Amino acid sequence: MPDNEVIMTVASWEERFLLGLKALIKTPPSKVVMYFLKEYADITEENRTEASQICRERNITLLPKQLTFNDPVMSWKTVLNSIFELDLAAKRVTVDITTMPREIIWTVFDLLQAAGAEVTYAYHKPREYSREWLSRDPGRPRLVFKLAGVTRLRASTKLLILTGFDVDRVRQMIFFFEPELTLIGMQTGEQFDNQAFNVCKHVETFKDERRIHLFDVNAYSNDHGFAVIEEQIKPHLENSNIIMTSLGPKLTAVALYKLHKLYPNTSLAYAPSGEFNTTYSKGISETITGRLKFEPRAVSESQP
């Protein structure tokens, strides 16, 4: 990594957060922006303290920034201000999406695009997930601030959901948005017992639903499922309001962001979970990286 590179990450209780940080700073960046969620400040404090020590030992400036699930507008402003503070126009930034909530991934990508930064994303695939529950108690879904597309009156709603291991979050999204049709993309492959914990559960739950269409998607393909997802939404672009969300592998969030930028009338949605398993994952098996190519556009600190 070049000396002027900035790393953006979200602190987590998972060991992947620290292992990923250590991997990314082997060639030291100039700064690390460490966002953390107010709601999980207590359980991430130990890892944040260790991250501070790691950066101090390597003479890397660490900038902690607090975000909150409960006020997405305030979080958006915090991300925006951190980008202005660092003057990231035309600079190289690595966004570690591994433990970053999807709403924050999309906000960070969009504001870095606005600043004209050169963005690389990194995802540290876990060695294994917990055999028990991963997340539960889904919260109220919402459209992502500034990435909510354009709602057309009298048009029907189509909902695209890329699934993970939590069927309740899928049900919550469908119940909340009441779409005419739901397109459910299920991650392919046997990794992490995916067939049993994801595919079979969703097929069994929704197989008899007339307004649900199931399809396969592969987050670990070269385009993270972009082409397959585009094929699913294209027939509905002209006459529907399309809402898209990712509940599965984080890399599909990259594909959905690119699709939203290509089709800006579409909306990105986020479904928070009320509770996460503190033994969510173990280790890192590999690190997947990619480059986002942006066209700079004007952005102002006065934007709401």
Which structure tokens are listed for 244?
């898209």
Judge if 159 and 124 occupy the same domain.
no
Residue 111 resides in a domain = yes
What's the CATH code of the domain at 254?
A: 3.40.50
Residue 300 resides in a domain = no
- Rounded CA-CA distance 164/118 in Å is 30
Whether residue 89 has pLDDT greater than 70: yes
Q: What pLDDT was estimated at residue 188?
A: 79
Judge if 270 and 144 occupy the same domain.
yes
Residue 208 resides in a domain = yes
SS3 label, residue 239: coil
Count of the separate structural domains present in the chain: 2
pLDDT digits (tens, 9 = 90+) for 245-297: 998 889 999 999 999 999 999 999 998 776 655 666 677 889 999 999 755 44
pLDDT digits (tens, 9 = 90+) for 25-45: 998 999 999 999 999 999 999
Judge if 66 and 144 occupy the same domain.
no
Judge if 185 and 151 occupy the same domain.
yes
Residue 223 resides in a domain = yes
Judge if 118 and 207 occupy the same domain.
no
Question: Which value, to the nearest 10 degrees, does the dihedral of the CA atoms of residues 131, 136, 141, 145 take?
Answer: -70
Judge if 147 and 231 occupy the same domain.
yes
Mean pLDDT of 164-173: 80
What's the CATH code of the domain at 11?
A: 3.40.50.11700
53 or 167, which is more confident: 53
Torsion sign, CA atoms 186, 190, 194, 199 = positive
Hey, how many other C-beta atoms are within 10 angstroms of the C-beta on 54?
A: 16
Half-sphere exposure of 126 (CA within 13 A, CB side): 17
Which structure tokens are listed for 242?
């399309």
Judge if 122 and 169 occupy the same domain.
no
Judge if 105 and 226 occupy the same domain.
no
Least confident of 52-56, 231-235, 300-304: 300-304
Mean pLDDT of 77-106: 94
pLDDT digits (tens, 9 = 90+) for 182-207: 999 988 755 444 444 455 665 666 66
Per the structure, the complete domain to which residue 188 belongs is given by: 135-276
